[in-house]
Structures are given as structure tokens and as C-alpha cells.
Structure 1
Amino acid sequence: MTAIVFGTLPFPNQSGDQIVSKAVSAAIAALFKRTGKIQATVRAEPVAKLLQGSVDGFDFIGNGMLMYNGLRIEDMELYVQAVSIDFSAIFSGQVKLRQPTQASMRVVLTEEDLTNSFNTPFVVEKLQKLQYQGQSLNFSNTQMLVNDDKSLTIKTQIRLGKSTETIDLDLTAQLEVQERRKLQFVEVHYGGNEQSQSLGEALIDHVNDLLDLDKFALDGTQLRVDRVRIRNKQIIFYGVAKINQFPQRK
């Protein structure tokens, strides 16, 4: 009976789980400006459960994912728990959840990803909201380095207001997760002269205030980080994504 039903669907020679897997892959890809290889694998046993929208879960693996705000993710893995979906929406290219679900996640950012992120208009605009001694800040040549001792180094050049002179900032810190959602630079060591150090302290306070995952999560999702691993010029986040509705690009 199941074969007869799926045989009448507008996707010949494909089983129901393959249809849903491709739809989920396409829906996730649409959230990004550009992606490398992405693959979603839906788990449903027996497959007939899909007709009622019941899914045992699905696994998603993607790499080279560039967001529309310019931020890039080297690798992302999501392992979604059992979920109920609106099967009829699949044929219009949409993924609709009938109830919230949760996924374990693994996200990898490279040193290059981090450097590029700090130079995107999306992040630069947020950084420039900080004022120092009543003057606006203009950032250039920002670098983020992942060191062998698992510390992170930020180097940047800043112009105050309309000045043509640049102030070099060079600071090194540890990365810590607080309350499972706030990424914080702690144990900071500031280089340079007194002015550079004072400006660096103001910058770190501002950046720490910005690095709240709730400010970056897609609509309908909530991200929580349980562990951070730093190695091989990469930062790897392990945690949980709570999904109330399948996100859509604004």
C-alpha cells in the first residue's frame, strides 16, 4: 500500500524518506547565500509513518556555509530528535514543524572564518556603535588568530573620529562560555601603550556584550553551547539547538 501511495507522488522512483530528505536539504540551503556540500538524511521506520508526518529524526551535515550577513561556517552537523512535520508542505518546498523539537549540534569555525567575520559590514557596523572618549571608531585590517595554546588573539587598527592616524590594538584572551549562550573573552592581556590598552579594554567590553547567541539565532531557534574545543586553528562548538519552527530567510 505504501509503495502505491508514494508511487503516485510527483517524484518518480524516489521513496518518501528520500523526498523529505531532499526537501529538508533544499530548505536549509535556502537559508544561506552559498553552501558547499550539504546533506539531510531523514529517519523513519516504517517509511509509511511519513504520511502522518511522523519522523524518527534527521541528520544534517553541511560545509562551506556562507550566511547572507557574510558570516561563514566551515562545518555544521545537526542531529534532530523525533519530530512531527506537515508532509503536505514538502511538495511546495517548505518544511513545517507541527511541534517544537531539539537537535544536538556541532559547529566549526576556522581562523579564516573568524577573521573574515570581523571584517564583514554586519560585524563592523556593530563594532562601530562603540564610542571612545566621545569619538566614533573606524576599524581596519582586523585579524583573529587561533593560537597553539588555545588562546585567541585579536589585532586591529582603529582610527578615532576623523583622525587619519591609526591606533594598533593587539590583545590575547581565552574564550569562555557563560550561561550556555554568552561567548566571552576572559583573562585578556593587552599589548601596546596606555592608550591602546584603554581602547582595548573598551572594545572587549563591547564585544563581550555583543556575543550573545540569542542575538544571532535564526527565527524560531534557540542555541545553547555546552562545550568549546579549540585546536588546529579552529573553534568547535558542541551544544543544542531548540527549534520551535523551521527557520526561513527574511
Structure 2
Amino acid sequence: MTGFNQSPNADFGERMLNSVASQSIRHLFTSSDTVEVEIRCSPASKLLQGSIDSFKMQGKGLVIRREFETKEMSFETDAVAIDVGALLGGKIRLRQPTQAIAQVVLSEAAINRAFEAELVQKQLTNVTHEEITNLSGGEPVSFRDVRLKLKPNQQVEIWALTDLPNRKDVPISLSAQVTVEKRRRILFANAQFEPGEVPSEVQGLSKVLTQGFIKVLNGMVDLERFNLDGVMLRVNRLETKGSDLVFSGYAQVEHFPGTR
């Protein structure tokens, strides 16, 4: 469902802006529960100069690129300059790039489903880190059945399984703190092997595999996978809230979705 909010006193120009924006935004997502768009322009005469006061998008249950789910996503700009001629043709074209305050919420369940996504599976399969291949006789190793649990204070627990030539179903168990590098890459810092759920006879093996697995994780979670057409997301802060992972930052809007 795609809609837009508007003031009861919104004039024709503002209603047209909201309608055009809604049509563009809904095509960004493979599917969604709700997407709401709100564009404000007061007084209406500012539209003649191509100036609007703010643009806001809020969505829930959004699926990006068919495999990556966001529980919630929102961004809101300050004043924006648009091309009036393009608007009359049914499009919103920015006269210059702009920034917006942004927030993305990922649920623990969606994060775990993302480990099954094709792009992620490619990075978990046929891993050749030296720490790992030293234990596998030089053969690549694949990780599977990855499971993550969010904990307070940006802490996470992660489990996985892998197979070696002489041992199947070797468990991997670790704890770490989720951090952000260069505002775009998620890192699992201060990672520690957690032996509690690992049988004693394979703990030494599992500990070494865990170190290699951490390197795989730290090379794979890039927020550019959540970028939208014309919208680049950057993160200033992240936090765990119950079973949700919340990213707060900004969106660099190069062009309005669906236009160039």
C-alpha cells in the first residue's frame, strides 16, 4: 500500500507533488506493507520558483532487491529546489543533490533471513582464509545455518555450522559488538569465541574456525546493499533495541527516484 499524508488545507500544487512522489517511491521496493510520502510547500507560490519546504518518506515492511527486508525506513529533507518544468511533466527532478536525516530499522528475524540471500551465500561459500584452509587440507570451507541474536548495548551472539573433510557439523559460536566503519560497513568488533554450546572435543578446532568466520563476516555487511535509486545511505550511529537493530544517519539524495 502506498499513500501520502497532506494537510486538509493543501492546495493543488502540494497535492500534485505528493501524488507524483508516491508513484515514484513505490517502485523502489520489491514489496512493502506501507509507504507514506509527505511533501510540504507553503505558501504555494514558492512552487513557481521550484522551492519546497521538506520531503519526507516513511515505510514499513519494505523489501529491497527481493531479498533484503527492512522493518522500517524513513528519511526527511530540509528545503529542496526542484525543476518546475519536470513537475509539469509528471516528474520530480532535483536542481541539486540534497541530504536528509535517515533511519533504518532491521529486525533480528530479517537479519537471519538475509544470511540466506544469494549475495550473502556467495560470501559464505568456498571460503579460503588461511586460518580455515590450514584445518581443511587446503580445501575451501563453507559456512551454513548462520544464526544471530541481538543483545543490549550493541552486543550480538552468532552461531554457524561448517564441515571439514574429517569432521561434519563443526559448530561455531561467538559474541561481538556491532560497530560502523566509514559510515557504511558493519563490523563485528571485540569478537570472542564462546565455548558454552560447543562440545569439548572440538572446542580447539571451533575456536580457530571462529577466527576465520569473523573475517568473513567483517568483509560482507555493507550498507550499500540498502541504497535506493538515487539515494545513498550513510550511518552515524547504530544501536540494538530489543530484537531490532537501528541505524541512524543521513541519506545523500542525488536525484529523485526514477528520474535522472
TM-score category, normalised to shorter length: 0.7 to 0.9
Q: Name the TM-score, length of structure 1 as normaliser.
A: 0.83
Counterpart amino acid of residue 95 in structure 1: I
Counterpart amino acid of residue 57 in structure 1: S
Match of 1:141 in 2: 145
Match of 1:232 in 2: 242
Match of 2:183 in 1: 180
Matched, 1:22 2:9: no
Q: Distance in 2 between matches of 1:195 and 1:159?
A: 11
> Shift of residue 109 of structure 1?
0.7
Q: Distance in 2 between matches of 1:187 and 1:109?
A: 22
> Shift of residue 48 of structure 1?
2.9
**CA 1:127 to 1:140, structure 2 compared with 1: closer, same or farther past 3 Å?**
closer
Structure 2 unmatched ranges of 5 or more: 1-9
Q: Residue 157 of structure 1: SS of its match in structure 2? A: strand
The CA deviation string for residues 92-137 of structure 1, in whole angstroms up to 9 with x for no partner, is 6643222100000111111111111111112112332632414333
Match of 1:154 in 2: 158
Matched, 1:72 2:69: yes
Match of 1:170 in 2: 173
Q: Distance in 1 between matches of 2:125 and 2:60?
A: 30
Match of 1:126 in 2: 123
- Report if aligned partners of 1:69, 1:122 keep a CA contact under 8 Å in 2: no
Matched, 1:49 2:46: yes
Q: Distance in 1 between matches of 2:225 and 2:243?
A: 25
Q: Distance in 2 between matches of 1:79 and 1:206?
A: 34
1:93-112 alignment to 2 at 5 Å?
94-112=91-109
Counterpart amino acid of residue 59 in structure 1: K
> Shift of residue 90 of structure 1?
4.5
- Report if aligned partners of 1:63, 1:76 keep a CA contact under 8 Å in 2: yes
Q: Distance in 1 between matches of 2:211 and 2:149?
A: 18
How many residues are paired up?
Answer: 236
Greater alpha carbon shift after TM alignment, 105-114 vs 203-212: 203-212
**CA 1:40 to 1:130, structure 2 compared with 1: closer, same or farther past 3 Å?**
same
Counterpart amino acid of residue 146 in structure 2: T
Structure 1 unmatched ranges of 5 or more: 1-12
Greater alpha carbon shift after TM alignment, 140-149 vs 41-50: 140-149
Q: Distance in 2 between matches of 1:124 and 1:183?
A: 17
Match of 1:199 in 2: 209
Q: Distance in 1 between matches of 2:126 and 2:12?
A: 52
**CA 1:216 to 1:163, structure 2 compared with 1: closer, same or farther past 3 Å?**
farther
Q: Residue 224 of structure 1: SS of its match in structure 2? A: strand
Match of 1:246 in 2: 256
- Report if aligned partners of 2:102, 2:233 keep a CA contact under 8 Å in 1: no
Match of 1:62 in 2: 59
Q: Residue 206 of structure 2: SS of its match in structure 1? A: helix
Q: Distance in 2 between matches of 1:146 and 1:93?
A: 44
**CA 1:215 to 1:190, structure 2 compared with 1: closer, same or farther past 3 Å?**
same
> Shift of residue 219 of structure 1?
5.0
Match of 2:6 in 1: none
> Shift of residue 242 of structure 1?
1.1
**CA 1:52 to 1:93, structure 2 compared with 1: closer, same or farther past 3 Å?**
same
Counterpart amino acid of residue 47 in structure 1: A
Q: Residue 114 of structure 1: SS of its match in structure 2? A: helix
Greater alpha carbon shift after TM alignment, 166-175 vs 19-28: 19-28
Counting aligned pairs with the same residue, the percent is 29
Match of 2:221 in 1: 211
> Shift of residue 83 of structure 1?
1.4
Q: Name the TM-score, length of structure 2 as normaliser.
A: 0.80
**CA 1:126 to 1:247, structure 2 compared with 1: closer, same or farther past 3 Å?**
farther
Match of 1:84 in 2: 81
Q: Residue 191 of structure 2: SS of its match in structure 1? A: strand
